[in-house]
Amino acid sequence: MKCGLTETTESQFVDTIEKEAYVWCEKDWKHDDHEHIHHRAQLTFVEDGYQYFHIDRKIYLVPQHHVIWVPSGKAHKITSEAKTVNLMVFLFKSVFEEEFYQNVQVFAVPPVLREMLLYASKWNKSLVENEEQDIFFKAILKSLPNFCKETNRLEIPAPTDTRLIPVCQEINTHFKYNLDVDSLAEKAQMSVRSLQRIFKNETGMTLQKYMQLTRILKSIELIDTRQYTLSEVAYKVGYQSLSAFTSSYFTVMKTKPGNHKNKTES
């Protein structure tokens, strides 16, 4: 049993629940290490910690106080190195017809939505019919496109062109350093101009943006450990000053890193 669904094989879930929608809250979430699929749309709210969702050759980061929308039938795998992950998972049998519901979405939870989600926790794991719950969950579902006005670019695309794999591996391994584009082009065995053009076509972002995103996602993992000051985090992911890190972090996350709990600055 996982989120009310019965796992019949390692990756397939059978839905025997009659309810149109329900919520499943878990403290200290334990992750599976395999891809799975189920035929309910899923809205996951990360109340504490962070998660990575592996979907369609992309890795989506869902930090604390963010949600991810996963359409029905979309295969996904979940990983996290966070000490503690507290989640609320909403599962919907049917959704509205707007395009929003057909695609993966990740966005920060505004205060109104957060209060709605937390209020819904009173129905945690309840599978009995409840008119108030049905109406309330439908309101959450209908409002999601309006809450998701500006989706953060929190996914790391995996290129299909195999020549780019060594480039991505180099960035993911040595993100702390200012990598030279000429050396990256050598790894891809192509010219700098070709590398920049093909990389943008394959991933939807420039090499510089990919490097920045990798650093910021790594910083979120370090902040979550609560072992380092923000200055220490900034240095560990390759920034020479706290101000440069804070500016870069805000560009990606639309919030300041100080909003996360961490070791006190010395």
Q: Using CA atoms, how far apart are residues 78 and 36, in angstroms rounded to an integer? A: 9
Mean pLDDT for each consecutive 10-residue tract of the chain (266 residues)?
59 74 85 79 91 87 89 89 86 94 91 95 92 96 88 75 90 90 94 95 91 91 88 95 94 76 46
Q: What is the pLDDT of residue 231?
A: 95
Q: What is the pLDDT of residue 50?
A: 84
Q: What is the pLDDT of residue 172?
A: 86
CATH homologous superfamily, domain 6-147 = Regulatory protein AraC (2.60.120.280)
Q: Which residues of 163-192 are buried (b: 16+ CB within 10 A; e: fewer)?
A: bbeebbebbeeebeeebeeeebbebbebee
Answer whether 218's CB lies under 8 Å from 238's CB. Answer: no
Each domain of the chain, given as residue ranges in start order, spans 6-147, 156-259
Contacts of residue 259, defined as CB under 8 A and 6 or more positions apart, other chains included, come to none
Q: Using CA atoms, how far apart are residues 195 and 36, in angstroms rounded to an integer? A: 34
* pTM summary value: 0.77
Q: What is the pLDDT of residue 262?
A: 46
Answer whether 144's CB lies under 8 Å from 92's CB. Answer: no
- Which residue's structure tokens are 């059978």? 14
Q: What is the pLDDT of residue 3?
A: 63
Q: Using CA atoms, how far apart are residues 226 and 220, in angstroms rounded to an integer? A: 10
Secondary structure of residue 176 in the 3-state scheme: coil
Q: What is the pLDDT of residue 1?
A: 46
Q: What is the pLDDT of residue 78?
A: 87
Report CA 162 to chain centroid distance, whole Å. Answer: 25
Secondary structure of residue 7 in the 3-state scheme: strand
| Domain 156-259: assigned CATH number | 1.10.10.60
Contacts of residue 159, defined as CB under 8 A and 6 or more positions apart, other chains included, come to 165, 168, 199, 202, 203
Q: What does the radius of gyration of the chain's CA atoms come to, in whole angstroms?
A: 20
**Alpha-helix runs per DSSP H in the chain:** 111-120, 131-147, 165-173, 181-188, 192-203, 207-225, 230-236, 242-253
CA-based nearest residue to 65, from 3, 118, 103, 141:
118
Q: What is the pLDDT of residue 151?
A: 58
Answer whether 229's CB lies under 8 Å from 253's CB. Answer: no
- Which residue's structure tokens are 């993992």? 221
